[in-house]
Amino acid sequence: MAVGNIEFPKMQAVAGIKLGTACAGIKQTERDDLLLVEMTAGSTCAAVFTQNAFCAAPVHVAKKHLSTSPRYLLINSGNANAGTGEQGMQDAMASCTAVAELTSANTEQVLPFSTGVIGEPLDVSKIVKALPATQANLIEDNWAEAAHAIMTTDTFAKGYSKVITINGETITITGMSKGAGMIQPNMATMLGFIGTDAKISQALLQSCLAESVEQSFNRITVDGDTSTNDACVLMASGQSTVAEIIAGTKEAEIFQLAIQEACLALAEAIIRDGEGATKLIKIKVQQAVNEAEAVQVAKTIAHSPLVKTAFFASDPNWGRILAAVGRSGVAQLDVEQISIYLDEVCIVEKGGRASSYTEEAGQAVMNQQEINVTVVLGRGQVEQQVLTCDFSYDYVRINAEYRT
Instruction: Please name each of the domains of the chain with its CATH number.
Output: 17-272 (3.60.70.12), 280-400 (3.10.20.340)
- Rounded to 5 degrees, φ, ψ at 180 are -150, -30
Kindly write down the DSSP assignment for every residue of 314-383, as one continuous string: T---THHHHHHHHTS--TT--GGG-EEEETTEEEEETTEE-TT--HHHHHHHHTSSEEEEEEE-SS-SEE
Question: Which residue from 21, 129, 118, 120 is spatially nearest to 76, judged by alpha carbons?
Answer: 21
Residue 28: CB atoms within 10 Å: 11
3-class DSSP assignment, residue 6: coil
Active-site position among 44, 152, 153, 189: 189
Helix (H, G, I), strand (E, B) or coil at 395: helix
pLDDT reported for residue 400 = 83
- pLDDT value of residue 153: 81
Helix (H/G/I), strand (E/B), else coil: 17: strand
Q: What is the DSSP string of 77-113?
A: EEE---S-HHHHHHHHHHHHHHHHHHHT--GGGEEEE
Angle at the Cα of 375 from the Cα atoms of 369 and 379, rounded to 5 degrees: 165
User: Residue 394 in contact with residue 1, Cβ under 8 Å?
Assistant: yes
Instruction: Give residue 227's pLDDT.
Output: 77
> What is the structure's pLDDT at 182?
57
Radius of gyration of the chain from its Cα atoms, rounded to whole angstroms: 22
The secondary structure of 117-163 as a DSSP string is ESSS---HHHHHHHHHHHHHT-BSS-HHHHHHHT-SS-SS-EEEEEE
For residue 185, what are the CA distances in angstroms to 12, 163, 195, 328, 378? Answer: 27, 27, 20, 19, 28
Smallest CA-to-CA distance from 80 within 229, 195, 211 is with: 229
> What backbone phi and psi angles, to 5 degrees, belong to 320?
-70, -35
Query: CB-based contacts of 374: which residues, under 8 Å, 6+ apart?
Result: 284, 285, 286, 340, 341
Q: Can 189 be counted among the known catalytic residues?
A: yes
Q: Render each residue's pLDDT in the chain as its tens digit; 404 residues.
A: 688 878 899 999 999 999 999 999 999 998 999 999 999 999 999 999 988 888 999 999 999 999 999 999 999 999 999 999 999 999 999 999 999 999 999 999 999 999 988 899 999 999 999 999 999 999 999 999 999 999 988 889 999 999 999 999 999 999 999 986 655 555 445 899 999 999 999 999 999 999 999 999 999 988 777 778 889 999 999 999 999 999 999 999 999 999 999 999 999 999 998 888 899 999 999 999 999 999 999 999 999 999 999 999 999 999 999 999 999 999 999 999 999 999 999 999 998 999 999 999 999 999 999 999 999 999 999 999 999 999 999 888 877 876 66
Residues 23 and 41: their CA atoms lie apart, in Å, by: 27
